[in-house]
Structures are given as structure tokens and as C-alpha cells.
Structure 1
């Protein structure tokens, strides 16, 4: 005989309070009822204020048991775009910080198609993640705006890594940590100007918030330095635009642009594109740094080229470590019943690593 709904709901509430979090599917198996029945019970318990509903899970309103954060289930999750070498060090830094705190970190990869981040987040939450580190791809500003509704509806602490929403955004109050890319552009231009370069080309990506900041700052800072003439911006590769499936017409030949503008220096975002463009310059008979100085942006593989590249180097591992610290600050406050304080937007200053690809203008 099936047990009464009140008794079943009481068992669900007690189980969730004991564990801190329970999957709907696990509860259905334990109680010998359908997922639909448990989901309906959880909705009723949430309506009465006895627990919280999540994506495929039920969460306790009481502090999180220590054992939930220390092992066993997935405590926090990090969602990053696929094929993003830049964030690899951030993931490593996050793992180190999580291990030191005794918290399990699970990595979820978001594919390149629209809605991939949302799917990855849903899977992470269904797996039991109690907090999220997110680096949405946001190829366009429209994509960033479109994500605001579901991101603002997340019911677990969330930290954006290498992303910061606009002030008018519905998610501006979310914790975040990112590189001060305006300062990175400042470092690159300051170095090149000090070497006597006044005609500088930017070859940059245009498929992420980081790329858009670099492009905007390059335009503003070259204008502020009186370097507008000869300082042109091009796309760093045919597939570096918002739609990587299409060859973007803004990706013109760098050697030709150098010839047209008389540029003596190039800032290239990011490293992989810089190495490809470096080979193109050498093929065209433009020696580096003899005829043209090159600064790469990201410093992931900049030192591995035939000419080790001077590069702007964000503190990539520290991005991950800081993201975990911000997230654990939220989770610990929730667990101990304390107020974690106001949201924090942290900016980390990049460094400039000088190698063999820059020299004084001849």
C-alpha cells in the first residue's frame, strides 16, 4: 500500500535537511515512487517554505553539512567554453584553491552552440553543485543580454570569471573577477611608445568580452596619446569574429596593412593568432623585431614561437583562485547563517613580459 502523501513529504523534508541537498531522481528511487510524484511533493514543500527547489534537486534551508562540501558529492562547478586555452590556467588555479579548502571542483565544458552554457549549468546543478564559477562565451553583446534572465534566476551562489556585466545588467550584482584589460593595453602601448613606435596596428579577436575591451581601449588610448594616424584595427584571423563558421572580411593581410600604414609595431590578441601572423610577416620579408615589433596578448604560448614574443600576461591562475575564494565566501556565509557582505567585483592587474619581439624603432 502506498504511504500517505503527508508521510512521504515528511520523509523527503527530513532527507533533504540531513543531506543538505538531494536529487529528485534519487529521492524517487529511495521512496519507490515516480519522479513526477517527488517533483510534485518538492513543489508543495517549497511552497510551504520547508525546502528550496533547484534544477532537478531539492535543497535544505538549513546550513550545509560539512561533509557535503568536503567530499562525496559535487560541491562547486566551473563552466568554461570549449577550446579556450586562455582559461586553462584559470581552471588549474581554481582546482588548487578548491583542494586547499577541502572542496570538490567539477569542470563542465560548454560547447560552441547557442544555449550551451545554460545546458552545462543545468547539468552541474543536477549533479549537486552548490555554487558555480562561470565564464560564458558571450560572442556578442546580444548574447550577453540574452543570458541575463536565466543567470539572474539561478538559486545558488555564482561567480563570473573573466567576465563583468554592464552596470545596467540584471546580473550586475553577481560576484565577479576579471583582468584589468584596459591596463593591459596601457602596458603594451606604453612599452611600444617608449621604444619610439607611433604607428601601431591592433590585430585582435572580436568574439568575447575581453576582445571587445581590448579593441575599445586600443582606440581610446591611441587617441589619448595622439597616435590615431596609422593606428588601425583589423581582425586577427578570418574566424576570430562573432561567428567562427564564417570568414570575416575584417581579417585583411597584416603585412599589407603594415605597408599601407607605415606601422612599425603590432599588438596581437591572442597568442595563437600572434604566432600565425608572425609567420606571415616573416614570409612577407618583414623581420621581427627588425622591421616590426610585436606584442602578443594573453601569454599562453607567446614564448614558444620562432621569435619569443613580448606579451601582456594576465594573472590567469589567480583568476581561478580568486573566483573560488569569492564563491566560498558566499557558501560559508550561507552555511553559518552569516551575511557574506556585498557583491564584489575584483580586477587583477596583468603584467608585461618583455622578450625578443620588440626593439627600438629604427
Structure 2
């Protein structure tokens, strides 16, 4: 629906999306996703244009030790960024501009991005990249779509919505997962002006306004507020990131720790200097050992070498202690091999 509205509202066709981004598995959304092993052998990118360069201070062409809005910065990669200025952001925004110049008529329908790339490996952008890109897209006639499916509802701790941490106001916001706490529920929020475009033809959704899902969603939002889930995500996320950073300095195979609140990525490598992704057999051995000790984590990233830590927001401090203890033990045991 977000892609449809962007095109209807602007009268343009081209949607820009980010390399290593992920925004769903419906036929329309698949074209916006560009993560290896998630691409089917069928044309899905009708009017979808991927920005060619991966926007990543750790693995991308630009970025370094002062680029991320996180307690954890890239190690062994100095940069020239100062307070209020990010050199890497400028260079990545120039890549977006060149993508528009070379692949479109100069008029675009919109830009879609996650606040932090989830499936892509919990990748954080340089500090000012999203804000500058929003300005660029709007200058070319497009609208800005925030994919908050994995990042919303206080999970990042510092803000309720990831787009707030980038100091932007999107034209369209899409959300799901966390809003229903397991119950199927998704929503799109936009302006009345953009929403009116759906009156140009008949439109409906079979499950739109489902009263059971809607009631659950309302109660979930109340619980997030009443039980202080956002603040808990901030404090426990800080403890988890600091603990993982300590473990990172102990072991060569932990190349990067990144994230905010309770959305954290840990990237495993052969060694910190080359950043060569850890051999898949070794990675999966660690993955299974962690599971066997009672800790469930996700995995992702372009090379499948990133642990994605996104626990329920209702966890307690002892759960963080347990996670750090398990993680350190398993990494240590596998580093001996």
C-alpha cells in the first residue's frame, strides 16, 4: 500500500530502496529487498531502484569510528567525522543522488528505508544520512516511507520510532509485528492528502479493521506505556551492548557490535583486520551451541554471519546477565578450535 500511495500521490513511478535492506515478502515488497538468499528468480523490481552502494560504516566504502548513533562504534577504522558533521553521510547521499541521475528521469515516487536494517544485519546508517536523503528525495518530487516494522514501539529505547532518532518526519509510516505482540496486525499511517489517493478507485482489505487484532494492538500499546517498556529497552540495551563490547575486545572473531536499545547485531569474522566473514560452518556451530545452552538469537546479514539480538521488551536484568554469560562461554569455547 505504501508503494501504491507514493506512486498515486506523486504521479511518478520510481521507488528508491537501499542495498541490503528488507521490507517484506509480498510480491510488491520483494522488489524493495536486496539481501542475498532472499531474491527469487522472477522479476519483482518493476520501478524499484536499489541504491548501488551499501550504506554501512562498518562494511561500506565510507564510515568509521564516529559515524553511528550507538554506544558501540566501529573499531580499527578512524574517520574525519566531527560533532554535527559526518563525512560518510555526505558521500553516501552523493551515491543516492547519482543513482537518481543515472537511473531515473529525475522525478521519483519515493524512498523507503528501515530505521536500522534488520534482516541485513542490524546495520546502522551514518548519523545524518537519512535526514539528508529525505531532503534529496523530496527535492526530486518523491515522498519518504519509514519502514518501522522491526524498530518501532520503543524498542530502540531512546525514541518510540526509529525515524525520530534520525530527526525526520516521514510522509508514510508502515508498522507491524511489535504492534500485535504475536497477533497478526499491521498498519499504515499517512497524511489525509496522501490517503485520499485511494479514492481514485475502489479499494478494500479483507482483514482491514479486524476487531480482535485491533483490540489486541490497543492493549499492547497500553502495556508498552504502563510497564515502561521503552525505558527498559534503553537501560537493558545499554547493559547488553556494553557487555558485548567487552567480549568483542577479548576475541578476534567478533568484528563488530552495533545497535540501539534491544535491537543489537554482533558480526563474526575470521579476523578483525580483513573483516572476512566467519566460515559458515563455524558460525552455525556457535549458533547451535548458543541455542543448546538455552539462548535463542536470530541471524542475518548479507553473508549470514551476524547474530541478531532482539529479545522481548519484557526481559529483566537477569536475562541480560544470562545472555552475556552464554555468549562469552560459547565464543570462548569455539575460539579454541
Answer yes or no: same fold by TM over 0.5: no
Q: TM-score range by the shorter chain?
A: 0.3 to 0.5
Q: Provide TM-score, normalisation by structure 1.
A: 0.32
- Greater share of helix residues, 1 or 2? 1
